[in-house]
């Protein structure tokens, strides 16, 4: 009988040494942040669709960011990409959601009760 046990943690340094000693844990895999081509491959696998070149470009720009447009890079783990795929049944909606992750937040709109003047905090 062979067993395969998968354990995950965000803090391996906090695990008891007896739990992770050689013979108990034979392989450790770090699932860190994904490059844009890995995100594309995961999306294609999840949706069972091939991405066209414009979709790939949009995903790459969302992941890498765009200095000219002031969009920061988005760091995503495989779990985060999977969660985005699960939340969006349509490929186009999923790509839009990915693009929105890198968008700067909209300025807050506040109304000053004493003056009734609207102020934008940027």
Assigned domain for 82 exists? yes
Task: Tell me if 66 is assigned to some domain.
Answer: yes
More confidently predicted of 85 and 102: 85
Whether 122 is covered by a domain: the verdict is no
Q: Is residue 110 part of a domain?
A: no
Residue 89 lies in a domain: yes
Does this model's pTM top 0.85?
A: no
Segments in the chain forming alpha helices (H) = 36-47, 53-64, 78-87, 91-101
Domain count, the chain: 1
Taking only the tens place, the pLDDT of each residue in 38-49 is: 999 999 999 999
Smallest CA-to-CA distance from 73 within 40, 99, 102 is with: 102
Residue with tokens 């999840």: 46
If you average pLDDT over every residue of the chain, what do you get?
84
Distance of CA 73 to the CA centre of its chain: 11
Q: Is residue 50 part of a domain?
A: yes
Q: Is residue 53 part of a domain?
A: yes
Q: Does pLDDT of 114 surpass 90? A: no
Range of the domain at 42: 36-102
Q: CA-CA distance, 59 to 40, in Å (whole number)?
A: 7
């Amino acid at each position: 009988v062979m067993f395969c046990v998968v354990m995950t943690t965000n803090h391996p340094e906090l695990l008891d040494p007896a739990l992770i000693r050689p013979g108990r844990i034979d392989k450790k895999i770090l699932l860190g942040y994904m490059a844009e081509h890995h995100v594309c491959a995961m999306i294609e696998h999840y949706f069972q669709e091939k991405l066209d070149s414009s979709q790939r470009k949009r995903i790459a720009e969302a992941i890498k960011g765009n200095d000219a447009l002031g969009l920061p890079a988005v760091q995503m783990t495989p779990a985060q990409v999977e969660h985005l795929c699960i939340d969006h049944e349509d490929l186009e909606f999923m790509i839009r959601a990915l693009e929105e992750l890198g968008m700067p937040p909209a300025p807050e709109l506040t109304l000053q009760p004493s003056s009734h003047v609207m102020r934008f905090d940027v």
